[in-house]
A and B are shown apart, each in its own frame.
Chain A
Amino acid sequence: MAELRLDEVSRWYGNVVAVNGVSMRIGPGVTGLLGPNGAGKSTLIHMMGGFLAPSAGTVTLDGARIWANQQVYRHIGLVPEREAAYDFLTGWQFVLAMAKLHKLADPAAAARRALALVEMEYARDRQIGTYSKGMKQRVKMAAALVHDPPVLLLDEPFNGMDPRQRLQLMDLIRRMAAEGRTILFSSHILEEVERLAGHIEVVVAGRHAASGDFRAIRRLMTDRPHVFAVRSADDRRLAAAIIADDSARSVQLTDSGLRVEAVDFRRFTWLLPRVARDADVRLLEVSPADESLESVFSYLVSS
């Protein structure tokens, strides 16, 4: 049972606070670290991986301090976001070198096992520089898994992957978690986190905004006022019909159509077509006006 623990962790760079008083515990299973770009996810992972000293607070693995403690790397595997591996080595040479650096008893066997785990044996003798993005990600994963660590940290592992590679990696992460490992991965995409993580930690603007299973987070994110831009054949009549129904809080007539503030996301998307049909107004366009992740997250923080 490996548990990562953050206690009142802050990190600042000069005057800029990147992480602000975050406390969390991460246990076995898959935990998703969700937040918009620039929220401090990487800073958090870097502190968990011992790359950065927390400016305040402590980061520990099963009670052992992580910063400036090389011994924790026996228990942690880390897949960095940055793509660069040693491009001039072949996949096999790279993973084998990592096994040797860990001083494993049988580095060759460990490297074979790790490459098999990520299904990269077929390309093991090619130089990493010739790999696709997904292959690089997998060989980095093999390097992180070579010493069979109970804790695995992945920084934006799905970035730049095509859907097939994404599925493969999700499958692999699930298998790793089923073996009882503690896995933390960061992402700024809710769907990714939702599909993979049993537990979600949300960070926004350096703060710990929410924590729980994906249903709770999902509800927090969808049960909030949504603004939609609507264009129709007769905006005025549609506005009256929407106002008559109580699914919207306000309707605004603009040059480019209606701006509707819906009370309930699901209910509104379900109701709007019926309201339009009953009022005999043809809908031309319905689009969410504030679906940017930042606005979703800023709502989360303020609530």
Chain B
Amino acid sequence: MNATIAYITFRGMLGRRRALLLLVLPVILLLLAVTLRATGYNDLTASTAVLQRFALGALLPLLALIAGTGVIAPEIDDGQIMYVLTKPIPRPVVATTKLLVAAVLVLLFAVVPTLVAGMILTGDTARLSVAFGVGVFAGGMAYCAVFVALAVVSRFAVTIGLLYALVWEVLIGNVAPGARKLSILQWATSVADSLTSATAVTSEVSLGAAVAFLAVVTCGGAVLAAGRLRTMPITGAE
């Protein structure tokens, strides 16, 4: 972890229009929660659906994609990454710092809004909001690690990330149940499932397996990003 790299990255993420992008989805989630509460439609089934489908299923992967690729991809594209890489700083420190910034952004713009929306919708019923808060957090870490690694490995990280989140997790997951076992979304759901008594939340992956998968993917992403940064050529346009 390097404070200066974190500072520059936060400035880059929050100082520009991308900050608005980060804000849109959480604001929609909160508006949805407030509207449902105000109109009295906030029963447990509806609340669960909002948290599961929207907070966990849509807001989290998209936000993690914006944050995970945003902390490093623009710098690689524009070449500023060289200011960081031409310093006597071990590359794993660079990678983990970028990952940490992405994680903090997910915490601020996905985990906290999920918790707040859950509270607005259900209060403390069935510990639903905490369960989803933790689930979103655990899934968020894994998503961030995957997307940061993707951003270091490929220039098409956003496209590949979107394909993974939309096609693999949603589409193929619906058609081929086996694919669901290899899905960050399912692992995160499993974590949420284990923490709430609401019966609508179910996952096909056992908690133990889910936690193990999440840990492996998070660490694997970090290691891959660090390793790739070490030998990343910064090709000049000649």
Given that A80-B79, A84-B80, A89-B8 are contacting pairs, would A46 and B235 also be in contact in the complex, using a CB cutoff of 8 Å? yes
Residues of B within 8 A of A46 (CB): 233-236
Distance of A287 from chain B, by nearest CB (Å): 30
The verdict on B176 contacting chain A, using a C-beta distance below 8 Å, is: no
CB–CB A68/B234 < 8 A: no
A93–B233 CA distance with the chains assembled, in angstroms: 27
Q: Which of A38, A50, A81 contacts B86 (CB 8 A)?
A: A50
Distance of A31 from chain B, by nearest CB (Å): 19
In the complex, residue of chain A having the shortest beta-carbon distance to the beta carbon of B82: A80
Distance of B189 from chain A, by nearest CB (Å): 38
CB–CB A86/B80 < 8 A: yes
The verdict on A247 contacting chain B, using a C-beta distance below 8 Å, is: no
The verdict on A27 contacting chain B, using a C-beta distance below 8 Å, is: no
In the complex, residue of chain A having the shortest beta-carbon distance to the beta carbon of B233: A52
A74–B88 CA distance with the chains assembled, in angstroms: 6
Instruction: Tell me the A70-117 residues at the B interface (CB within 8 Å).
Output: 70-71, 73-74, 76, 78, 80-82, 84-86, 88-89, 97-98, 100-103
The verdict on B91 contacting chain A, using a C-beta distance below 8 Å, is: yes
The verdict on A29 contacting chain B, using a C-beta distance below 8 Å, is: no
Residues of B within 8 A of A143 (CB): 83
Given that A42-B236, A53-B233, A100-B4 are contacting pairs, would A88 and B88 also be in contact in the complex, using a CB cutoff of 8 Å? no
A74–B3 CA distance with the chains assembled, in angstroms: 19
**Total cross-chain contacts (CB, 8 A):** 86
The verdict on B211 contacting chain A, using a C-beta distance below 8 Å, is: no
CB–CB B230/A101 < 8 A: no
CB–CB A101/B84 < 8 A: yes
Q: Say which one of B10-18, B165-173, B218-226 lies at the interface with A.
A: B10-18
Residues of B within 8 A of A239 (CB): none
B194-238 interface code vs A (CB 8 A; 1 in, 0 out)? 000000000000000000000000000000000000110111111
Q: Which of A45, A88, A98 contacts B11 (CB 8 A)?
A: A88
CB–CB A76/B86 < 8 A: yes
Q: List 9 A-B contacts (CB under 8 A).
A: A18-B238, A38-B238, A51-B85, A51-B235, A70-B90, A73-B87, A81-B236, A86-B83, A101-B5
Task: Give the interface of B toward A (CB within 8 A).
Answer: 2-5, 7-8, 11-12, 15-16, 78-80, 82-91, 230-231, 233-238
